[in-house]
Structure 1
Amino acid sequence: MTHSGERPHSCLICGRRFKLLGTLRQHEKIHTDRERSYLCDVCCKMFLTSKQLQIHMRTHTNEKPYHCGECGKGFSTKGALTIHMRVHTGETPYRCPDCGWCFKRKFNLDKHVTVHSGYKPFVCGICGKACARKTYLTVHMRTHNGERPYKCTLCDKAFTQSHCLKTHMKSHLVAEAAT
């Protein structure tokens, strides 16, 4: 969208257009009459309720009142603890309607579904290959720059992706078992 100039999200009140839905949602707040009267005296952000300010203040104090009963890790909000607990329970409540993959976080599902859309906004400046995610483009760029960050500790081979190194390591196990 940066290159095309496309702005698909439009404000219903003033008509201003935005590339991202999140930016539109932030903009729409200027049209509301609600007064933000709770001010953070550390960073000057304003909040609608005292509870929002109280939760925000934890970012400055590093207060973590919610603790995991399994591992003891602390969290600043109850929601963050709930998401963390899925590490222990294995719960994956967010399912992709296209392929069935499941995720612990809605954010990760939302990121994943873009793969099915065919939308590839990240384009290689060298060969023009388009990628759905920035991380895919980063890996692709290694074909141009020769970077091989995943190095075998047993021989001199190196790889562009971690899964290639893992597969390679199995070859050492097979060779070791044969001797």
Structure 2
Amino acid sequence: MLKKAHLCGVCGKSLSDYRSQHEKIHAARERSHLCDVCCKMFLTSKQLQIHLRTHSEEKPYRCGECGRGFTTKGPLTIHMRVHTGEAPYRCPDCGWAFKRKINLDNHVTIHSGLRPFVCGVCGKACARKSYLTVHMRTHSGERPYKCPLCDKAFTQSHCLKTHRKSHGAAT
């Protein structure tokens, strides 16, 4: 049996659930919870309580593996993937897996063929801004990754890692 779709009376969005919950996002709600440190306003006392942790450095959610602290549960859940190796976001085009959805979202642009980032010096087009940043080092001569054991410097971190192996260093 199909659920009957409801339409939002404000924006017309088709909703599979009861619409009153969605329509609350359109209501002019008063932000009555004030942060006395930075004067930001919040809709609920819970939102204010979580925000206040940014001022106090309170991090009640701790990683059981390494002890790193987090202000909310969401970032801890994502962090735990460092220890478990879980990568739940898989690219439908090539199968690469990612620990964070934002990394998958950035990755899939590679398959689109679009290259919106263009070098102002030579015209080379890149799919990502970070690729253009690395490319620009060929023009500027910048080599930000310096070997602490010798005088060599590199344009990319992975090149430094490879070089360090020549010194017998793991990373």
**TM-score (normalizing by structure 2):** 0.72
**1:96: which partner in 2?**
91
**1:105: which partner in 2?**
100
- CA-CA distance at 1:144 after TM superposition: 0.8
**1:42: which partner in 2?**
37
**1:74: which partner in 2?**
69
**1:120: which partner in 2?**
115
Structure 1 regions of 5+ residues with no counterpart? 1-11, 14-28, 174-179
- 1: distance between equivalents of 2:76 and 2:89? 17
Residues 172 and 85 (structure 1 numbering): CA distance in 2 closer, same or farther, change over 3 Å?
closer
Aligned length: 147
- CA-CA distance at 1:127 after TM superposition: 1.4
Mapped pair 1:163 → 2:158: yes
Structure 2 regions of 5+ residues with no counterpart? 1-9, 12-23
- 2: distance between equivalents of 1:53 and 1:164? 45
- 2: distance between equivalents of 1:63 and 1:159? 39
* One-letter code aligned to 2:27: T
* One-letter code aligned to 1:45: K
- 1: distance between equivalents of 2:63 and 2:31? 33
Correspondence for 1:59 among 54, 60, 69:
54
- 2: distance between equivalents of 1:58 and 1:152? 38
> Identity percentage over the alignment?
83
Correspondence for 2:28 among 33, 37, 51:
33
Mapped pair 1:142 → 2:122: no
**TM-score (normalizing by structure 1):** 0.69
- 1: distance between equivalents of 2:159 and 2:88? 30
- 2: distance between equivalents of 1:150 and 1:71? 27
